[in-house]
Amino acid sequence: MKHGLVAMGVMALAVSNVTNAESMTKAQGDALLKELREIKQLLARPQQQMPTTPMAQARPESLSVKAGGTYVLGKSDAPLTMVEFTDYECPFCKRFYDTTFQTLKKNYIDTGKLKFISRNMPLPMHPHALKAAQAAMCAGEQGKYWEMKDALFKNQNKLEVEGLTTYASALMLDSDVFKICLSDTTREKAINDEANYINSLGVNGTPAFVLGKSVGDAVEGRKIIGAQPVAVFENAINEMLEH
């Protein structure tokens, strides 16, 4: 009975978020509802498959992940590092970028407390996510990764190739070089390898994060799944900074 009430509460909150998001486009709303249906299926599992430990007593799950990637914000010697795995077609990733990320950047990244590393995890259910990730990579090779990342999330419902080349032109990238890069299968494989790596660690949804200390070429710390409220990230960061 308790699990049923929890499930109903989660779904009610999720539906409320959808109906209150006045700025959400139809395409984003459809994508969000699709993922909510998947959550509903998960919650519908028999009770014996559900965790018996109360959520309030659950300890944060730890994870060690290779830092990887070349797209980094913040000081190289920041006391904490956060590795992000994102999908440009994921509505939850956009929510994190539009709200939580901007606060974290202002309060922690720009102040030297947090180093932020962005990595790719395009999900198979999102047909344009892989090519969008490749567009960000190609823009990064011309020094405009973060600018392209911003353009992709601001235009999440327009991630077809024509749109990607339009954003590249707006960023004053070399169009010919960008188009060649965008069609390169080697870069596409690198992105898929990146996604497969994080999948192998048991992370299958986006956005996903590992927050902790840099140890060699890895980051060891707390796994955070989903576009959690900014307070969840702030509390975790502040707690780690105190120790």
Same domain, 120 and 19: no
Same domain, 220 and 181: yes
Same domain, 144 and 196: yes
Domain carrying residue 20 = 2-57
pTM of the model: 0.75
| One pLDDT digit (tens) per residue for the chain, 243 residues | 444 444 444 444 444 444 444 445 665 566 666 666 655 654 554 444 444 333 344 567 888 888 776 799 999 999 999 999 999 999 999 999 999 999 999 999 999 999 999 999 999 999 999 999 999 999 999 999 999 999 999 999 999 999 999 999 999 999 999 999 999 999 999 999 999 998 999 999 999 999 999 888 889 999 999 999 999 999 999 999 998
Q: What angle do CA 90, 93, 98 make, to 5 degrees?
A: 125
CATH assignment at residue 86: 3.40.30.10
| Domain total of the chain | 2
Gyration radius from the chain CA atoms:
19
CB 92 within 8 A of CB 224: no
